[in-house]
A = this chain, B = another copy of it.
């Protein structure tokens, strides 16, 4: 494995990715005995980024639930570049990349406020599949997702 930032290969003819930002401060309980945020806590940071995306573009858990679908994470990769410490201020950018197949490809950039700028401390990626409520994989698009993707393609989501 090697450090990566472009986790997903751009598909030809794909519309521009969707972006959203979440902010957060490192909690005492997230820091380990070496004084650094334990690597497992970053999963919650990614969740915050994905939540911001969902809020902004109508892809939240609530919407999924309302339309009888779920989007389990089937793959996650995190690359840690610099340690985080107690009370650090974080900016988490989540970027949803278009995928012709029915899945959500999300990339993350976690930056730490250094007082006079920002430092990239971690990058990450998750892949989510779409299932119905019982966990069965959905291969065709539901109306809800079809509509969402149509609006994304048309540029309506970027305004």
Q: Which A residues form the contact surface with B (CB < 8 A)?
A: 1, 3, 7-8, 27-29, 31-36, 38-40, 43-44, 47-48, 51, 60-62, 70, 72-81, 83, 86-87, 125, 127, 133, 135
Chain copies in complex = 4
By secondary structure, the A interface counts as mixed
Distance between A155 CB and nearest chain B CB, rounded to angstroms: 27
Distance between A25 CB and nearest chain B CB, rounded to angstroms: 8
For A27, give its contact among B36, B51, B74 (CB under 8 Å): B51
**Contacts A32-B28, A43-B39, A51-B28 given; does A83 touch B75 at CB 8 Å:** no
Q: Are A34 and B70 in contact (CB under 8 A)?
A: yes
